[in-house]
Structure formats: C-alpha cells, structure tokens
Amino acid sequence: MAGQPLVITIVGVPNLPNVTEVNIRSIPTTINNASVVAKLRLGTTGLIALDVQIDQGNINLNGKVYQWFQIPLPNGGTGWVRDDLINVVGDGSRFGYGVVPTATVPFFLTRGAPAAAAPVAAAAPVAAVQPVAAVQPVAAVQPVAAVQPVAAVQPVAAAQPVAAVQPVAAVQPVAAVQSVAAVQPVAAVQPMSSEVVMTPVAAAPAPAPVAAPVVQSGPPKVICMMKGGCNVRQAADKNGAVVTRLNYKDTADILDAQQGANNDYFKWLKISVQGQQGWVREDLVRLTGTFGKFGVAAEDLYPNPAQDSWWSRDFDPTGAVSGIPHGGWDHAGNVGVPMMAGPLGGYVTKDMFCQKCGTAGISAVEQAGFAIGDQRLIQDPGWNYGYGHYVIVRYDNNLLPESVKQWLNANNLANAHAFVMYAHLHEIKVKTGQTVTPGQVIGTLGNSGMSQGAHLHLELRFGTNPNAQWPEIKSGLVTPARLFLR
C-alpha cells in the first residue's frame, strides 16, 4: 500500500446521523467564517489527498488541534476538509501519517513529520474522483440534525407546549465547532431543549444503591426521567401537539418506536398512558423490560450509574445542536446519591481530587463566583480544569456488553476498552489502581468544579491501550449512549 495515494471518504459528524453533507472550505480553518467553496455529501469517496495542513486558527477538540485535507473538487478547483469529517486509507507518509491500511478517521491518528516526498504512484486517477452526486449550492443551509433550541436556563413551567420553538437557522456544525477552544464539558445547567425543566436541587438523602441489572425482563416500558414531567406528543415530532404528560418516574408501556420527524436525530417511543396514546422522545425516558425489539437501545447496556437522578443534558461535543459543546451526559440529582461502577466491575485508572473543591465539594460557579465557561476555571488544574472531583474507570473489553463489542468491531475499535469519566462528584470513594466490584459505589453525586446544580457528568471514550493516560484517550470521545442506558 506504500506509494498508493491517500484516498479520502466524506463521513461527517458521528452521532449526528441526519447531517448529510460537510463543508469544504477555501482555507484550512473555520475561523472568521472562511468561505465554503463546496459541500460534499457523506459517502463521497475516491478523493485524493493533495495536501494536509494544521488548522490555521489552532482550533482544537479536547486539546487536539484539527488538521485539514486539501482535496480536488468536481468543478476542477480544490478545497479543504477537516480531519474529523473524513476517513482516509492508503499511504499518508508524505503528510506525516505513515501507511493507513484500513479506513480511519484521521482526527484519531497522530500526525508526525512527513516522509521525504515519495512519488504517489497512481498519480491521482481522476476517474476515482466520484462525480459528487448532489453538490449543494453553497448557500444551502447545512442540515443539522434536529436542532433543539436551548431553553432558558431558568426553570420553566413544565407543561408548556413547545409549539413556539423557533427552528434555528443555518446552524453549521462545522462553524459551531471552531468558536469553542477547549471543549470542556459545561455544567448541567444548560438544558438541551425546551422540554427540559431544571429543578432546584434539594439537600441530600442518600438512598441505598440499586443493584445493577444486566438482563432486562418484563414488559417494555418507559420511565419519565424529567423532573418536571415528560411531554407526550401526538406524533414523533418535536413540534407535535402535546396530548398528555407523564410525571417524573411514572411508567408507561411502549407500543412502537420511530425516528423523529423534521430531522430529529432522536428516536421517539409510542406509549400508552391511561388509555391515551402518544409519543415521547428517547432522551427524556429510561427504558425497562424487554425494550430491545424497538431498536432505541440494546438491552445489554450498562445501567445509569446514578440510578436516583433525572435527565439534564445530552451529548453534543461540537455544540452543533445546542450551541454549547458538551462532551457527555448530565444526570442531575441530589448531592450524595451513590455513583455505581458497571455491572461487571472495572479498574480505576484515575481518582482526581479537586484541590480547590476541597472536601466540601465546592462548586466554582455557585460558591466561588465563576461563570460557566470561564477560561480561568477551564485552564486551572486546581479546579481539575472544571471537572471537579472525578474518577475514571476502565472497563476492559471482556467486560463490555455484546452489543458494544459488535459496535467496536464495526468501527475499527476491535478489542478496545471503555474509559468512563464520572465528574463533578461530591466524594470519591475509590483509589487509582483499585479493582472495583460489580455495582460498587465509586463516589457520590455532587456539584464540584464548573457545575451549577448537582449532577453527574458522564463521559465515555474507547481506546485499545489499557494503560493510556489522559492525553491519549482524550480524543476517543463518543456518546455515553454507546455503553449506557439513560
């Protein structure tokens, strides 16, 4: 494969399946809204890399600066595409990647010094360049999956129909990325959608941990995990009329499931509530029983580590959906609620006490006066860069659910291990290097660090090196939905 051209395929943004095309820019960056010279549909392949350059604005995700690939365009020109939106295969030596034997997203590769210019063998066979199916006119609005506008941070009366939701115009996932330097997860406060209702946190009864089920049984049901209740709508559509509501922790039988309408990247579940039928969005509910047949989540996934909690905020690593990058899931709850390890045990790779949070588990926002997103906080190791007290637990590949292993195998991550960060804890109950037993309490839910309202911030990464330290695993971020039920 050495000497072969490095061939690029457009793959888009993971976890936003309804994004159908990506921006090709005039220069290798998105800063100052570098002009978009083309849009290429996902699946466009056979593009030969002409050059690779580091992002001109040093824009990064989780500290890893993007690289940009120069590609030929159907109109005869050239343009630049970012390295997290493509995969590459072939000889990348002259760009510092070495030979890439299987299609890989280059964002996850480390770029070294370029090799001496080896002649590229099949000098860019033009035939290989797919005539790009539907190159959208540049003016086309970047289709972003189901843009759920971020609701006001203030608690909102629960039962508001969301008819008034303004579709957010032209949210560019690509553009949204560059505005945020370090993608530090922000605290739980920012609800994802107008269905989200935040409730002030009360003090702390600490209920006993719930045993962690692995095998689901019983009829398939949803449990509403919204503190203010869940809207049940007439259709699987975020703009659909609200027909009834399900109260927090109330259950309902699942009848059906389907993808949300209007480019919603969530699925919706059809449920029956006291004789009425309607649809509820998947992120607002917890699933129990034999729900696997509905295809919303696999039944063998790990349970929510904070069983006694309520839903707060979804994974949105680039801020493409909500405008605010968020690298994990937030489950809000009372301070002191136990945080459980996975159902098959694991290994603590890091317990990180937050010096400035102290044993009181201080919130930098509520008690030290910082604003969410304050760089003085995000860059301060004393605050653990905003994460507060946290623990990272490794779940070795052999401890992972079968459905997860299948996903890993299909995504060039065969035999990878899961690294899970549990952040903003109140107390840490384990030590680095410790093996934990199934469902063991590893800490308690808290409000430490860049947090406004007690919540668990849950981040998931996969990596093949079991001894990887933070800089190495940092880039393997994926949605917690790959391993956890909500």
Judged by the rule CB under 5 A, the positions of this chain that interact with Zn ion are 185, 330, 457
- CA 14 vs. chain centroid, Å, equals 8
Tell me how far, at minimum, the Cβ of 394 lies from Zn ion, in Å: 20
Residue closer to Zn ion, measured from CB, 83 or 330: 330
Residue closer to Zn ion, measured from CB, 69 or 329: 329
Residue closer to Zn ion, measured from CB, 22 or 176: 176
> For residue 449, what are its two tokens?
């660090």
Tell me how far, at minimum, the Cβ of 64 lies from Zn ion, in Å: 20
List, in sequence order, every residue forming a beta bridge with 87; answer none if it has no partner: 9
Tell me how far, at minimum, the Cβ of 158 lies from Zn ion, in Å: 22
Residue closer to Zn ion, measured from CB, 82 or 326: 326
Q: Residue type at 204?
A: A
Tell me how far, at minimum, the Cβ of 445 lies from Zn ion, in Å: 12
Residue closer to Zn ion, measured from CB, 151 or 246: 151
Which residues have a Cβ under 8 Å from the Cβ of 412 and sit 6 or more positions away? Answer: 102, 103, 104
From CA 404, how far away is CA 415, in angstroms rounded? Answer: 10
Place of tokens 């553009």: 175
From CA 282, how far away is CA 305, in angstroms rounded? Answer: 18
From CA 457, how far away is CA 484, in angstroms rounded? Answer: 13
Q: Is 56 exposed, middle or buried (0-12, 13-18, 19+ CB in 10 A)?
A: middle
Residue closer to Zn ion, measured from CB, 264 or 330: 330
Tell me how far, at minimum, the Cβ of 318 lies from Zn ion, in Å: 15
Tell me how far, at minimum, the Cβ of 60 lies from Zn ion, in Å: 19
197, 244, 264, 284, 296 from 160: Cα distances, Å: 10, 11, 20, 16, 26
Residue closer to Zn ion, measured from CB, 417 or 457: 457
Tell me how far, at minimum, the Cβ of 459 lies from Zn ion, in Å: 8
Tell me how far, at minimum, the Cβ of 328 lies from Zn ion, in Å: 5
Residue closer to Zn ion, measured from CB, 21 or 330: 330
- Report whether 394 contacts 349 (CB < 8 A): yes
Which residue minimizes CB distance to Zn ion? 457
Residue closer to Zn ion, measured from CB, 191 or 463: 191
Tell me how far, at minimum, the Cβ of 310 lies from Zn ion, in Å: 14
Residue closer to Zn ion, measured from CB, 189 or 269: 189
Tell me how far, at minimum, the Cβ of 373 lies from Zn ion, in Å: 12
Which is nearest to 63 in space by CA: 182, 185, 184, 186?
182
Residue closer to Zn ion, measured from CB, 245 or 457: 457
Tell me how far, at minimum, the Cβ of 205 lies from Zn ion, in Å: 23
